[in-house]
Every structure is written in structure tokens, then in C-alpha cells.
Amino acid sequence: MSFRVRRKPYKACRKCRAIVDRSAEKCPYCGSTDLTDDWEGMIIVIDPENSAVAKLLGITKPGRYAIKVR
């Protein structure tokens, strides 16, 4: 469910927690440019309607999300 590497291959959106490619300049989900390397734990949400974790994190769209974003 989560992983730790020294240099993360992805950044996370501070606004909606979506995981985006390092090269991305804005979040494809919400359009925010507030992206950060400072995140922990990735979850993949396939069916937000039926995912307790997705509900807990306020995720409404399928995708990859960071569990913690600073």
C-alpha cells in the first residue's frame, strides 16, 4: 500500500492528493500547480464509491493518491 524511496518518481498535488509525474507542472485532476515532493504512502483508488479509505481521504475520482501530503 505504501513505499519509500530516496528520490520519488512522482510528485503529489497538495490540493487533491493526486500523484502526478515528476515532469508535470500542474495536476491533471484539479488543475492546481501546488505540487510537492513531500508526500508519503500511495494508494490506488479504483472504486471510490466503495472504498473506505477513499471516503476517509475525501477522494471522489479513481486514480493514484498520496496518503500524507505536507
Which residues ranging from 19 to 48 are in contact with Zn ion (CB under 5 A)?
Answer: 27, 29-30, 32
Q: Closer to Zn ion at the Cβ: 26 or 55?
A: 26
Say which amino acid occupies 37.
D
Q: Closer to Zn ion at the Cβ: 16 or 45?
A: 16
Q: Closer to Zn ion at the Cβ: 55 or 61?
A: 61
Which residues ranging from 2 to 21 are in contact with Zn ion (CB under 5 A)?
Answer: 13, 15-16, 18
Q: Does 65 bind Zn ion (CB under 5 A)?
A: no
Do the beta carbons of residue 37 and residue 69 sit within 8 Å? no
Cα(44)–Cα(33) distance, rounded to whole angstroms?
A: 21
Nearest to 33 by CA among 49, 14, 19: 14
